[in-house]
């Protein structure tokens, strides 16, 4: 179990390197999002939002084709 904890700790340290602190303009919470592993069927549809209040902060999705 100690080895598993050390491996997890190393993953967290590696994931946090270079991460920036996000500040929500609505609820003023400050947070760091760390994505350790992307699932095979993951799709976020290009939206970024505050995990606390849900405010959409960025949209990376392409506009709909008409």
Note the pLDDT tens digit of each residue in 16-52. 666 788 889 999 999 888 777 888 888 777 778 898 9
Predicted structure pTM score: 0.52
- Report the C-alpha gap between 47 and 60 in whole angstroms: 6
Return the bridge partners of 31, or none.
22
Residue 64 lies in a domain: no
Residue 6 lies in a domain: yes
pLDDT of 27 reads 94
Residue 66 lies in a domain: no
Residue 65 lies in a domain: no
pLDDT for 10 beyond 80: no
What's the structural domain count of the chain?
1
Q: Give the structural domain span for 25.
A: 2-59
pLDDT of 64 reads 46
pLDDT of 66 reads 44
């Amino acid at each position: 179990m100690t080895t598993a904890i050390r491996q997890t700790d190393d993953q967290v340290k590696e994931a946090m390197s270079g991460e920036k602190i996000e500040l929500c303009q609505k609820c003023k919470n400050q947070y760091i999002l760390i994505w350790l592993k992307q699932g095979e069927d993951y799709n976020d549809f290009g939206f970024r939002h505050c995990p606390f209040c849900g405010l959409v902060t960025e949209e990376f999705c392409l506009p709909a084709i008409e």
